[in-house]
Amino acid sequence: MSSTRHEVRSGAYYDSVILMQLQKALAGLPGVEDAGVVMATPANKELLAAAGFDAGAIEARADDLLLMVRAEDEEAAAAALAQVDELLARRRSRAASAAFRPRSLASAVQQLPESRWVLVSVPGRYAAGVAEEALAHGRHVFLYSDNVSLEDELRLKEKAREQGLLVMGPDCGTAIINGAGLGFANRVRRGSIGLIAASGTGLQAVTAGLHNRGAGISQAIGLGGRDLKEAIGGISALQALDLLARDPETESIVLISKPPAEKVAARLLAAARNSGKPVVASFQGYAPPARHLGNLHFSFGLADTVELALSLANAAPADRAAGSNTSAPYLRGLFSGGTLASEAVLALQPLVHPLYSNVGQGSSRQLADPLSSEAHTILDLGADTFTQGRLHPMLDNDLRLRRLRQEAADPEVGVILLDVVLGEGAHPDPAAELAPAIAEARAGRSDLEIVAILLGTGEDPQGLDGQREKLAGAGAAVYPTTGAAVDHVLRYLPEGKDGDNGFPPLPLEDFRGQLAAINVGLESFFDSLDTQGAKAVHVEWQPPAGGNEKLMSLLAKMKGSP
């Protein structure tokens, strides 16, 4: 008849990997039918019950180690529990046991003073405290632990940013720093492509794909899954982007994310546009405004991200040229087609700020007075406001000609974007009226760039080629699609300033040379660092105050008191 025995080890903390391996080892002993090895939290007791172990009546605290064995008889069960210490001793890694194992982060910092990183993979309720201690010691943090509150994440990232430090996580499963993989990273060669990801497996898919195609990685910076949520605001992503933009070893950048918040994605893309480097954006659940805009390239899935990144890595510098900026900062768009105006707004709103419009798309701001432009403005001149008592601008250019002269006279306007729509029922020769106005505007403003979207066919009565020749002859840059025109426009708009410029930048020297790191939590992460040739120290961590919440709170207050 089967016999079940248990053992409680008070305050004996082991990481989850060791517990899993101990459970497997116990289950494989002679006569053992099943085994359970957990920290005795209520949730873990429920899991044991689901596996057929009656743990409800066992007196154990959440920080106690609970061992349960079901065997063919009582003798086999007792023999299995008697071997626990031996099995645990076998599990110790040779690298970790060969060196002194500090029992505190402070001691580890003294043992490895050149360390710039701390890997944290302790249970979630302790993780924020360990990460905060790492920041207090002036170290960047790779925070693998999950179940960290959103409030703690924001507090940690704001504190890190103020110190010129980086917090990757919480729930950050993958990163590659200075050639060393952290967490679940793949082994990849060094190279010139830098990655920033709010998606662990997404980061793995792209880095592995690039490696398998012969490319290499400069840095692959994980963020955790919530960094691009509105509550966090992309703090770590913006820090990482600034770092890679300054890094001479990074020639192109890839951004990867699960569905980001619209406002945060817009801010990140605006910063990416200002990076001066080619950037691939791979955002799940985000509708790309175009295939590419300026230095930004938008992918459709992870495999496409690899292809785009490879094409940018192999492109000659001339292929990446952004063009010349005008001396004036603002864009004004004067459209006769409402859908084309909306498409322009959707393409521009992540990249230029502030953007005003009367078409009400996405995050663009509603123009207070359609008769007066503000900052960057896109106008649908075919809207009801403008067509009361007058013909639609596809038939009558008078209103647009007046507005064109008005915008060209504004010294803060650097680019004017127009659409010219041909076809049955439209103005018989729109370029005959628009071209002289364009030439006049450019004659008075040598720094003014005028871009036209020409929509039509060679069969239209206006004559597509003739319209194009007139517009181009007047000095306009003519394109057949909104995306191509917006791509041109972005070359001439001054780059903006990011709001993070008041914080210390991440030091480039911390992303050079051999990685030196302190590991707190999963011993397997230490083993991985050691086998990759990184300098590493593993902390023999135990929950503070034996996991007693009241005592932990008291100790925290004592630490905070003068």
Q: What CATH code is carried by the domain that includes residue 40?
A: 3.30.70
Burial class (CB in 10 A: 0-12, 13-18, 19+), 371: exposed
Q: Are residues 303 and 358 in the same domain?
A: no
Within this chain, do residues 274 and 341 fall inside the same structural domain, yes or no? no
Checking if the pLDDT of 499 tops 80, the result is: no
Is residue 289 located within the same domain as residue 391? no
Query: SS3 letters for 428-495?
Result: CCHHHHHHHHHHHHHHHCCCCEEEEEEECCCCCCCCHHHHHHHHHHCCCEEECCHHHHHHHHHHCCCC
Q: Does 156 map to a domain? A: no
What per-residue confidence (pLDDT) applies to 320? 42
What residues make up the domain containing 451? Answer: 330-491
82 and 210 part of one domain: no
Classify strands 217-222 and 279-283 as parallel, antiparallel or unpaired.
Answer: unpaired
Q: What is the pLDDT of residues 345-361, one digit of tens each?
A: 999 988 888 899 998 76
Q: Is 426 exposed, middle or buried (0-12, 13-18, 19+ CB in 10 A)?
A: buried
Task: Tell me the percentage of the chain whose pLDDT exceeds 70.
Answer: 91
One domain, residues 182 and 236: yes
Q: What is the DSSP letter of 41?
A: -
Provide mean pLDDT across the span 380-384.
Answer: 93
301 domain residue, yes or no = yes
The DSSP bridge partners found for residue 143 are 120
345, 378 Cβ separation under 8 angstroms: yes
C-alpha 353/C-alpha 465 separation (Å) is 35
Whether residue 316 is found in the same domain as residue 401? no
CATH (domain of 254): 3.40.50.261
Asked if residue 99 lies in contact with residue 521, where contact means CB atoms within 8 angstroms, the answer is: no
Q: Are residues 334 and 288 part of one domain? A: no
In this structure, the chain runs to a length of 562
395 burial type by CB count under 10 A (0-12 exposed, 13-18 middle, 19+ buried): middle
Q: In terms of domains, do 335 and 315 share one?
A: no
Asked if 39 and 105 count as a contact pair (C-beta separation under 8 A), the reply is no
Give 318 or 285, the one with higher predicted confidence.
285
Q: Say yes or no to pLDDT of 318 above 50.
A: no
Looking at 91, 116, 137, which one is the last position of a domain?
91
Q: Is the pLDDT of residue 326 over 80?
A: no
- When pLDDT is averaged across residues 336-353 and rounded to a whole number, the result is 91
Closest CA to 481 of 420, 426, 394, 432: 420
Neighbouring residues of 277: CB distance < 8 A, sequence distance ≥ 6: 244, 245, 250, 251, 252, 253, 295
Number of helices (H), then strands (E), in the chain: 20, 23
Residues 340, 287: one domain? no
282 in the Ramachandran plot: left (φ > 0), alpha (ψ -120 to 50) or beta?
beta
Q: For residue range 104-133, list pLDDT tens digits in order.
A: 999 999 999 999 999 999 988 899 999 999
State whether 205 and 289 are in the same domain: yes
Instruction: Give the separation between CA 227 and CA 299, rounded to whole angstroms.
Output: 20
Asked whether residue 388 is assigned to any structural domain, the reply reads yes
Which of 249-253, 378-382, 550-554 is the least confident region? 550-554
182 occurs within a structural domain: yes
Residue 295 tokens read as 């230095």
The backbone region for 389, taken as left when phi is positive above 0, alpha when psi lies in -120 to 50, beta otherwise, is left
What tokens appear for 516 in the block? 């030196």
Residue 194 pairs with which residues in a beta bridge? 253
**Total domains in the fold of the chain:** 3
Across 3-12, 48-57, 86-95, 152-161, which has the greatest mean pLDDT?
A: 152-161
In angstroms, the Cα distances linking 115 to 244, 265, 512 are 21, 33, 12
In sequence order, what E strands does 337-380 have? 355-357, 365-366, 376-380
Q: What pLDDT score was predicted for residue 362?
A: 67
Domain's final residue, options 60, 91, 122:
91
The answer as to whether 154 is a domain residue is: no
Q: For the ranges 97-106, 174-183, 440-449, which has the lowest average pLDDT?
A: 97-106
Helices (H), 137-280: 150-163, 200-212, 235-246, 262-273
Q: Which of 491, 512, 529 is the last residue of a domain?
A: 491
Residue 562: is its pLDDT beyond 60? no
Question: Which residue is listed with tokens 């959440």?
Answer: 62
Q: Return the pLDDT at 547.
A: 55
Q: Are 198 and 227 in contact (CB under 8 A)?
A: yes
- pLDDT at position 559 over 70: no
Q: What is the pLDDT of residue 363?
A: 65
Return all residues near 406 (Cβ < 8 A) that are at least 6 apart: none
Residue 373 has pLDDT above 90, yes or no: yes
In a domain, 184, yes or no: yes
In a domain, 382, yes or no: yes
| Cα dist from 214 to 204, 313, 354, whole Å | 15, 11, 41
Q: Where are the beta strands (DSSP E) in 3-64?
A: 3-9, 32-39
CA 398 to the chain's CA centroid:
47
What's the pLDDT at 205?
97
Is 418:399 a contact under the CB 8 Å cutoff? Answer: no
Given a contact cutoff of 8 angstroms between Cβ atoms, the answer to whether 336 and 400 are in contact is: yes
Residues 360 and 311 in one domain: no
| pLDDT at residue number 91 | 63
**CA 430 – CA 420 distance, rounded (Å):** 7
Q: Is pLDDT of 231 > 90?
A: yes
Which single residue is written with the structure tokens 């040739």? 533
Structure confidence by residue, pLDDT tens digits, 170-219: 999 999 999 999 999 999 999 999 999 999 999 999 999 999 999 999 99
pLDDT in tens, 254-282: 999 999 998 899 899 999 998 989 999 99
* Residue 125: inside a domain: no
Q: Name the strand (E) or helix (H) holding 295.
A: none
Same domain, 302 and 362: no
* pLDDT attached to residue 98: 54
Q: Share the mean pLDDT of the chain.
A: 89
